[in-house]
Structure 1
């Protein structure tokens, strides 16, 4: 029976299909779907290449590389969409990525892991630290919108300056969280990760210090660079057909940005989180889900704000109020469920139910000029 890696890699066939469709003038919806499917395996191989290179670089540089490229796919799609002027879609994809990681990914992981194991455990200390960081992220993206709502005719330049200043603060916090997790308090994170690595190596009959466990560094650097370029190309195809394709499919830009784009960009991470949860490695599963949300909020979002300034496509942190409600609800329920360091299938179901309710709300949410 084919494993998950084989199934995901088989989607690479959609790379030439989507490119051929572009040059042959196929329907926008067909190119949109095929390019979306092509991005999924590319994101997975980027993750694999990053992990392999990290083994050679060591704990600190490897951790930094993982943190930087952890959400590279979403960042590339965001920059391409930003350059195309689809600022509303970019904003929606930011909030959507946070929501999908906290509710959809962690929900599936807890549900499927809980069906196999009655109760699973993970480090509550790390969960609480991540919860505090997510609370800060929510406050940071709430403030610009609150300023706009409580002001009369706030100038666009002022909102842009405020958003840029907040972006700098968020990036600084992100750097400090990396310092905390990889240097000053790395022991809080090492236990679960080390256990996972030992188990994985044991399953492949390779000891951590085995001479057979070698990394072909030039190969994996080449894979990472190639996948990055291909993700950029496929993102151009995806974004170029997004408006026409979604209109044909009867979807709004809000639903596309919040629901569809994050699922495409996070598909590989979704699979990883669920797979390790079903192996009773809930520490790693929660780390993937919550860590990805933190990277989006503390790194990807502020980088996109600054990138918009550089590209001449001003983007601020003034979000659709309903998006902020959805993010706040997602963070609250995720923090509540993960605070005790234990999970079961019912808690996973609750997270998925919350995601389903929000997805339905975004599907039926009317597009109001000036808010989306």
Structure 2
């Protein structure tokens, strides 16, 4: 009875109306608190049309959200950088090729059109690196940073332009070691001019050793050729190049295992240096991905495909541009092409150096040179072997000597583990000397050509 009176009291306070004497408690419970009628009313046939309109609004909202996401991604990737103003020169190069066929203008416009694409390729790689970690991100940065040079090399190899392949890959190594690293040291030294920036010496020593091994692989075929000590003339040099390329690919695979397993923090900057300036926490807070992981993958595929299309026109116009402008092919292959292909490395290395993260700058610049010398060049030799092209490691005496001297100079600069703007300036001026040397260098005709 007490329970019944309590329920009646509650009902009277809520003004729910009179309760019948028989089963009053059950009626109150069923109708006021646990009644399923509101739920069943939503599923009545008269409201099915309303549910359809709601689902249709959800579909329209999802479609609108998807379109806004696509617009935001396009705006972030294509409209957020002033360098992207050069992108229309790519289609313009194709139009001029179809209308006039002037190789000089086609080469120049293709060069301008590829420049922002190479930089955006590095940007998409950096965005993907946020989801893969620092070690894999550094490797991805070096890999896709060299994608432009590798695509150009494969198209030139298919066109039987072996010398262009050799010169462009050699120029990419020189550009990364002297120009990219020099700009990183110079800009970082200007920002932190009151102190010397510090980086991990062990990483630099490993990369310097790999670069010296690559020089050894390029030096022996050239020495064998110029000393005329081949057992089988015209065959031993090519056989040695293919064997050395396979060995270098094995060494590079072991190097990747060494990075990913034994040295997982190889691309992680030294934390003490950033904490002294009080900037590491701010940088880490600001460093958030601007696009999603799948957007990064899709943009990588789109940009790589567009670079491949423009690279074909660029390679076809190299010889015509050399004759039209009276510029040696060696200068075009060693200086002009790598500057365009290394746009991503330039931007990344300078940006990280100005944030006092020289370990990442070294991973981009020196790591990129290591990847070209130990992977891209041997890979092109193997691909040429499959294509039936006599691609070898004989880069001629002048080019091999230039590479050897450059590796020695950079190794001396890296042995202290410190950098400043003066070291960067010296590296940049060394690159200027190399560029002037190739401008007055007449490339010899390849033997057997």
Task: Report the TM-score when normalising by structure 2.
Answer: 0.75
Are the counterparts in 1 of residues 136 and 260 from structure 2 also a CA contact under 8 Å? no
For residue 324 of structure 2, the aligned residue among 210, 228, 248 is: 248
For residue 28 of structure 1, the aligned residue among 89, 103, 113 is: 103
- What's the Cα RMSD here? 2.5
Shift of 1:263: 1.0
SS at structure 2 position matched to 1:222? helix
Shift of 1:143: 1.4
Report which of the two structures shows the higher radius of gyration computed on alpha carbons: 2
Corresponding position of 1:160: 238
For residue 50 of structure 1, the aligned residue among 115, 125, 132 is: 125
Cα distance in 2, alignment partners of residues 182 and 24 from structure 1: 50
Corresponding position of 1:209: none
Corresponding position of 1:267: 343
Corresponding position of 1:314: 390
Q: Which runs of 5+ in 1 are unaligned?
A: 207-212
Query: Mean alpha-carbon deviation: is it higher for 228-237 or for 125-134?
Result: 125-134
Shift of 1:7: 2.1
The answer on 1:202 being equivalent to 2:285 is yes
Cα distance in 1, alignment partners of residues 355 and 343 from structure 2: 19
Corresponding position of 2:148: 73
Shift of 1:297: 0.1
Query: Mean alpha-carbon deviation: is it higher for 111-120 or for 34-43?
Result: 111-120
Q: How does 1:178-189 map to 2 (within 5 A)?
A: 178-189=256-267
SS at structure 2 position matched to 1:187? coil
Query: Mean alpha-carbon deviation: is it higher for 89-98 or for 267-276?
Result: 267-276
Shift of 1:220: 2.3
For residue 136 of structure 1, the aligned residue among 191, 201, 213 is: 213
Are the counterparts in 2 of residues 107 and 348 from structure 1 also a CA contact under 8 Å? yes
Query: Mean alpha-carbon deviation: is it higher for 107-116 or for 28-37?
Result: 107-116
User: Over residues 214-262 of structure 1, what are the superposed CA-to-partner deviations in whole Å (9 max), with x where a residue is unaligned?
Assistant: 8533322221111111111100110111101122111111111111111
Corresponding position of 1:228: 304
SS at structure 2 position matched to 1:186? coil
Cα distance in 2, alignment partners of residues 199 and 78 from structure 1: 41
User: Over residues 154-199 of structure 1, what are the superposed CA-to-partner deviations in whole Å (9 max), with x where a residue is unaligned?
Assistant: 5333322211111111111111111111111223443449979965
Cα distance in 1, alignment partners of residues 143 and 296 from structure 2: 16
Query: Mean alpha-carbon deviation: is it higher for 125-134 or for 190-199?
Result: 190-199
User: Over residues 261-285 of structure 1, what are the superposed CA-to-partner deviations in whole Å (9 max), with x where a residue is unaligned?
Assistant: 1111112211221232223222222
Shift of 1:356: 1.3
Task: Report the TM-score when normalising by structure 1.
Answer: 0.89
Corresponding position of 2:372: 296
Q: Which runs of 5+ in 2 are unaligned?
A: 1-78
User: Over residues 88-140 of structure 1, what are the superposed CA-to-partner deviations in whole Å (9 max), with x where a residue is unaligned?
Assistant: 11111121111111111111221222222222111112111111111111111
Query: Mean alpha-carbon deviation: is it higher for 335-344 or for 26-35?
Result: 26-35
Q: Kindly tell me: are residues 108 and 65 of structure 1, through their superposed partners in 2, closer, same or farther at Cα, counting changes over 3 Å?
A: closer
The answer on 1:126 being equivalent to 2:126 is no
For residue 343 of structure 1, the aligned residue among 398, 419, 442 is: 419
Q: Kindly tell me: are residues 302 and 199 of structure 1, through their superposed partners in 2, closer, same or farther at Cα, counting changes over 3 Å?
A: farther
Q: Kindly tell me: are residues 147 and 329 of structure 1, through their superposed partners in 2, closer, same or farther at Cα, counting changes over 3 Å?
A: same
Cα distance in 1, alignment partners of residues 107 and 425 from structure 2: 31
Shift of 1:26: 4.7
Paired positions, count: 362
SS at structure 2 position matched to 1:190? coil
Are the counterparts in 2 of residues 193 and 283 from structure 1 also a CA contact under 8 Å? no
Cα distance in 1, alignment partners of residues 266 and 128 from structure 2: 23
Shift of 1:330: 0.8
Q: How does 1:67-106 map to 2 (within 5 A)?
A: 67-106=142-181
Corresponding position of 1:177: 255
For residue 114 of structure 2, the aligned residue among 27, 35, 39 is: 39
Cα distance in 2, alignment partners of residues 127 and 60 from structure 1: 15
Cα distance in 2, alignment partners of residues 198 and 300 from structure 1: 37
User: Over residues 31-61 of structure 1, what are the superposed CA-to-partner deviations in whole Å (9 max), with x where a residue is unaligned?
Assistant: 1111111112222222232333344455676
